[in-house]
Structure 1
Amino acid sequence: MCRHFQVVSQMENLFDFSPSEILYVSAKNGTNVSSVLEAIIERVPCPQVKLGSPFRARIFDSWFEPYRGPAVCVSVLDGAVVKGQRIRTYHSNCEYEVLEVGIMHPEMRECLYAGQVGYLLTTMKHVQDATVGETLYDLSIERHNLQALPLFRPNASCIYASLYPMDVSEYSILRESVHKLALNDSYNGERIIRLLDASHFPKYPSDIDHFLEPVIKLTILIPNQYAPEVDKLCTEARGERVDWSAMDTESSMQQWKLPFAEVCGDFFERLKRITSGYATYNYQPDGYERAEIDLLVIQINDRPVDEFSQIVPLRVMKERAKLIVRKLREEIPRQQFEVRIKATMGQSKKTIAETVIAPMKKDFTGRLKGNFGEQKAGKERMKQIGRVQIPKEAFVNVLRI
């Protein structure tokens, strides 16, 4: 149902727009699209360019062309760029040759001039090198004389899907495919690598003063009728509400502070579900705060399995341990020997949850005379030296809970 009058009222209250500035457009139906083009001509000033100056441009997008490499979308600010020209990036200081020039149709062009928007194919090999906001310039310009443009503010990362290849050999294929997508958000000249998996958890608790976990500031726009469900969801996710304001008589805006670990799973999916898809949200990093967490270690026959181990808040440690142990009992088939599944807390090795999968039973007493004591001892030896066969589906199903 169209709610354009309500949306206009909200925009007036939140952003101080006047009614004459708001255009009623439906891109889906093609309604009033011409008014957008007219408004661009009337309201957006012409770019201030210098045609006679050396080439200078800014990257605003890119995509990967099979067999040809990254296609870089640029806005030309000064001068012109042609095929065969040598150019350089300012922030990463890399040199490339222009192989192809075009406009956004795409059509081949011999040259892009200042004030135009188009694409370049260069000798660039990786789409990650096409950082959004990067400045391209001609080699004739001395670096110290160049007026470089600042990088764009990094986009807020958003989780769309969690992928777990069933075959280990497919990890390299997944990694290559992800690299070809668009990992080209600006990063302010810094590269930070964080190893946050359980296998790198500190081994000596006495060396730890406290833990810090990243938190986010979450802004949610919702109809008022869904406010109780949203409050419950955010509270269960260890959230703290920091602000609330009414947008109009039917909707409100809430701001919450949440641990980032709580929104990495199905949080936003649940938010959309409880609000029937009417929730609009955005979040941004908000530093680090102290956290009461510890390592949950999953052991199978007294052997830790790093793939199942997790870093978990203390208040949900016991519940999480029971859930994983119960799930593994369902997923692991019976073996020829007893399988003991155990969840322990951190380096203290304190057992939180435990279960046993009984071995497959073979009864030979009807035809053979045997020593049951020797059979039992044999199964114990098999348990010590045997490897538990864990189906690949078990790893995926445990990660889903």
Structure 2
Amino acid sequence: NLTIIAAVNKIDMANARTVVVKNEIAHLLHIDPSEVMEISGKTGEGVEKLLERVIEYVPAPTPDTDDTLRALIFDSSFDAYKGVIAFVRIVTGSIKTNTHILAWATGARGDALEVGYFSPRLVSSDTLSSGEIGYIATGLKDPSAIRVGDTITSVSMKGRDFKPLEGYQNIHPMVFASFFPENGEQYDELKDALGKLHLGDAALAYEPESSAGLGRGFRVGFLGMLHSEIISERLTREFNLKLIISVPSVEYEVKLQNETVQFIRSAALLPDPSRIKEISEPIVQLEIISPPTYLGAVMDLVSGIRNEYIATEYLGTETVMLSYRVPLAEIVTDFYDRLKSVTQGYASMGYEPVGMKSADLVRLDILVAGESVEPFARIVPREQSVRIGRAMIEKLKVTLPRQWFQVVLQAAVGGKILAREDISALRKDVTGYLYGGDVTRKNKLLDKQKRGKARMKAEGKVDIPHDVFLKMLKR
């Protein structure tokens, strides 16, 4: 039940399509185009009228007579001395300095070391009352103890018939990726950085993960692709971290033969196929908005992934919207980049979850010299396993350094080999110092080399360098 005030910005630009965009917004919101305001943040045109409309249509908060403290957390930051600083709106009651406080959802307890308001810098005050917006320095050192959307109240309310503010729920990540520091010594820095970002982003989830080739890192969960791009960019720019980021994946629902259900975020955790009854994957409704000129190119692009066509809708004369149902796993890697490429940057896309759907999915393993390499394992549709497996070992063939013996690369599902590539052995010229004599001398040395290579092939183990994992897993 929110009030929506529509406005078109940047009307001062020479190539602004003000009328067209107003009609598109009006179509989406089911309003008259005359209700869409025209503004320019650069010149200030229309801004005053927009603010007047906000005052007119958005009601001011009304103070509540309830004395029970209920403070809504809408953001937070971290201070080395004051701990987590929660930015709040006092919905009911009031809070003073040194009040014993409780974060309701997490159960974390602390003391209000300082309360105050924004001016816009933090200005301390004696109290915050109902209807006011300000901050509370909680003294808590654990960033995960304060979550956006949670309710702060008095510790005395614990165990009583207390009703927290409605609407809070734990956010369930949809897309997952592994983050490893290029320098293993930066693991603690990455951990601290994720904790600080989690303060103001309740949708960010992370847990420790370890890889034989990449060392220690974190499995990080996001709401979607844009969310993952923002977090990775902030880790790079704000915390100066150089990261190895794996290809994004989704969470699968695995029903076992004994009817128990597991949620799997990594191929390495997938149970044995004999125990699996059914695997379900998340499905989303995908909406692509594009100029009609690129309609054919967009439809060709979508035809290359698993999809269920829903509708085509024209938003005015210069914009068309295509709707599909697709598995989330099909669009979390490079689909958006390819969409921008085929439409010269004009198309945009959005999606929303619509549930889970059973699918014929398998674990694809990559074998190097007969040994499975866990970081390369992926969950893929059975019908695409051959194509994906072949592409992966072809890339690995040009990435993995040659050894002193022949190395066999294989893509396999269960016990079935789907694709194979061989990396030829390095060869030392063992006859280079010979300048003559009987040919049997040369053959004797070559036979000895051949037997040695056969023994190395049977017993040798390939140590995969760190940079190979980096090239194979990096997006």
Quick one: which of 115, 118, 138 aligns to 2:131? 115
CA contact (8 A) 2:361 2:382 kept: yes
Find out whether 1:245 has 2:328 as its counterpart.
no
Alignment match, 1:382: 456
**Unaligned residue ranges in structure 1 (runs of 5+):** none
**Alpha carbons of structure 1 residues 174 and 301: separation in structure 2 relative to 1, 3 Å:** same
Quick one: which of 29, 36, 49 aligns to 1:22? 36
Alignment match, 1:100: 114
Cα distance in 1, alignment partners of residues 70 and 352 from structure 2: 32
Three-state SS of the structure 1 residue aligned to 2:89 is: strand
Aligned residue-pair number: 395
Quick one: which of 316, 339, 348 aligns to 1:271? 339
Cα distance in 2, alignment partners of residues 52 and 215 from structure 1: 44
Alignment match, 1:128: 144
Q: In the TM superposition, what is the alpha-carbon distance from 1:152 to its structure 2 partner?
A: 4.5
CA contact (8 A) 2:290 2:347 kept: yes
Cα distance in 1, alignment partners of residues 337 and 84 from structure 2: 33
Alignment match, 2:16: 2
Alignment match, 1:177: 193
**Alpha carbons of structure 1 residues 365 and 276: separation in structure 2 relative to 1, 3 Å:** closer
Alignment match, 1:341: 409
Alignment match, 1:76: 90
Q: Which amino acid aligns with 1:357?
A: I
1:308-387 alignment, distance < 5 Å: 308-345=376-413, 347=414, 349-367=415-433, 370-387=444-461
Cα distance in 1, alignment partners of residues 472 and 100 from structure 2: 52
Three-state SS of the structure 1 residue aligned to 2:16 is: coil
Three-state SS of the structure 1 residue aligned to 2:37 is: coil
Cα distance in 2, alignment partners of residues 27 and 385 from structure 1: 69
Quick one: which of 267, 270, 273 aligns to 1:198? 267
CA RMSD of aligned residues (A): 3.0
Q: In the TM superposition, what is the alpha-carbon distance from 1:140 to its structure 2 partner?
A: 4.4
Q: In the TM superposition, what is the alpha-carbon distance from 1:240 to its structure 2 partner?
A: 1.4
Three-state SS of the structure 2 residue aligned to 1:75 is: strand
Q: In the TM superposition, what is the alpha-carbon distance from 1:301 to its structure 2 partner?
A: 0.9
CA contact (8 A) 1:301 1:341 kept: yes
Cα distance in 2, alignment partners of residues 387 and 360 from structure 1: 15
Three-state SS of the structure 2 residue aligned to 1:264 is: coil
Bigger relative CO (Cα 8 Å, ≥ 6 apart): 1
Q: In the TM superposition, what is the alpha-carbon distance from 1:108 to its structure 2 partner?
A: 1.6
Cα distance in 2, alignment partners of residues 294 and 139 from structure 1: 50
**Alpha carbons of structure 1 residues 305 and 396: separation in structure 2 relative to 1, 3 Å:** same
Three-state SS of the structure 1 residue aligned to 2:282 is: strand
Quick one: which of 359, 368, 376 aligns to 1:300? 368
Cα distance in 1, alignment partners of residues 190 and 204 from structure 2: 23
CA contact (8 A) 1:133 1:186 kept: no
**Alpha carbons of structure 1 residues 232 and 389: separation in structure 2 relative to 1, 3 Å:** same
**Alpha carbons of structure 1 residues 339 and 314: separation in structure 2 relative to 1, 3 Å:** same
**Alpha carbons of structure 1 residues 85 and 51: separation in structure 2 relative to 1, 3 Å:** farther
Three-state SS of the structure 2 residue aligned to 1:307 is: helix
Cα distance in 1, alignment partners of residues 16 and 343 from structure 2: 17
CA contact (8 A) 2:289 2:348 kept: yes
Bigger CA drift: 48-57 or 316-325?
Answer: 48-57
Q: Which amino acid aligns with 2:337?
A: E
Three-state SS of the structure 1 residue aligned to 2:41 is: coil
Bigger CA drift: 92-101 or 295-304?
Answer: 92-101
Find out whether 1:63 has 2:137 as its counterpart.
no
Cα distance in 1, alignment partners of residues 291 and 168 from structure 2: 32
CA contact (8 A) 2:26 2:36 kept: no
**Alpha carbons of structure 1 residues 134 and 199: separation in structure 2 relative to 1, 3 Å:** same
Superimposed CA distance per residue, residues 241-266 of structure 1 (whole angstroms, 9 cap, x where no aligned partner): 22332221221222211111112211
Three-state SS of the structure 1 residue aligned to 2:462 is: coil
Cα distance in 1, alignment partners of residues 295 and 44 from structure 2: 34
Find out whether 1:289 has 2:357 as its counterpart.
yes
CA contact (8 A) 1:90 1:134 kept: yes
Q: In the TM superposition, what is the alpha-carbon distance from 1:239 to its structure 2 partner?
A: 1.7
Superimposed CA distance per residue, residues 65-105 of structure 1 (whole angstroms, 9 cap, x where no aligned partner): 45644332211112322322112223333322112323331
TM-score w.r.t. length of structure 2: 0.74
Cα distance in 1, alignment partners of residues 350 and 81 from structure 2: 36
Find out whether 1:35 has 2:109 as its counterpart.
no
**Alpha carbons of structure 1 residues 280 and 74: separation in structure 2 relative to 1, 3 Å:** farther
Cα distance in 1, alignment partners of residues 114 and 447 from structure 2: 79
Bigger CA drift: 355-364 or 268-277?
Answer: 268-277
Cα distance in 1, alignment partners of residues 70 and 59 from structure 2: 20
1:134-149 alignment, distance < 5 Å: 134-141=150-157, 144-149=160-165
CA contact (8 A) 2:308 2:324 kept: yes
CA contact (8 A) 1:156 1:284 kept: no
CA contact (8 A) 1:151 1:186 kept: no
Cα distance in 2, alignment partners of residues 65 and 263 from structure 1: 38
Superimposed CA distance per residue, residues 212-246 of structure 1 (whole angstroms, 9 cap, x where no aligned partner): 11111122332222222222222212121223322
Find out whether 1:393 has 2:467 as its counterpart.
yes
Q: In the TM superposition, what is the alpha-carbon distance from 1:285 to its structure 2 partner?
A: 1.6
**Alpha carbons of structure 1 residues 326 and 223: separation in structure 2 relative to 1, 3 Å:** same
